[in-house]
Structure 1
Amino acid sequence: MAELKNCKGCSATVHQSFDEIRANMDEYTRTIDTDLRTDPALYKKRLLRCSSCAGLYYETTCRYCGCFVQMRALRRNLDCPNPEGSRWHKL
Structure 2
Amino acid sequence: MKRCKGCLESLVVSKKKIQQLISNYAEDQSVIVSGEIYESRLKLCHECSSLINGTTRQYCGCFVQFKAKFPDKHCALSGI
TM over 0.5, yes or no?
A: yes
Q: Secondary structure at the match of 1:30?
A: coil
Q: How far apart, CA to CA, are the structure 2 residues paired with 1:87 and 1:50?
A: 11
Letter aligned with residue 52 of structure 1? E
Instruction: Output the aligned Cα RMSD.
Output: 2.4
Contact 2:51 2:57 in 1 (8 A): yes
Unaligned runs of 5+ in 1: none
Query: Which residue number in structure 2 is paired with residue 53 of structure 1?
Result: 48
User: TM (normalized to structure 2)?
Assistant: 0.72
Contact 1:57 1:63 in 2 (8 A): yes
Q: Identity across aligned pairs (percent)? A: 30
Letter aligned with residue 42 of structure 2? L
Q: How far apart, CA to CA, are the structure 2 residues paired with 1:32 and 1:69?
A: 18
Contact 2:18 2:66 in 1 (8 A): no
Unaligned runs of 5+ in 2: none
Query: Which residue number in structure 2 is paired with residue 20 of structure 1?
Result: 17
Letter aligned with residue 7 of structure 1? C
Listed one character per residue, the Cα deviations across residues 29-63 of structure 1 (whole Å, up to 9, x for unaligned) are 436662xx223211110001111111111011111
* C-alpha distance 7-81 of structure 1, shift in aligned 2 (>3 A): farther
User: How far apart are residue 71 of structure 1 and its match?
Assistant: 0.3
User: How far apart are residue 76 of structure 1 and its match?
Assistant: 0.4
Number of aligned pairs?
79
Q: Secondary structure at the match of 2:33?
A: coil
Contact 2:45 2:64 in 1 (8 A): yes
User: TM (normalized to structure 1)?
Assistant: 0.65
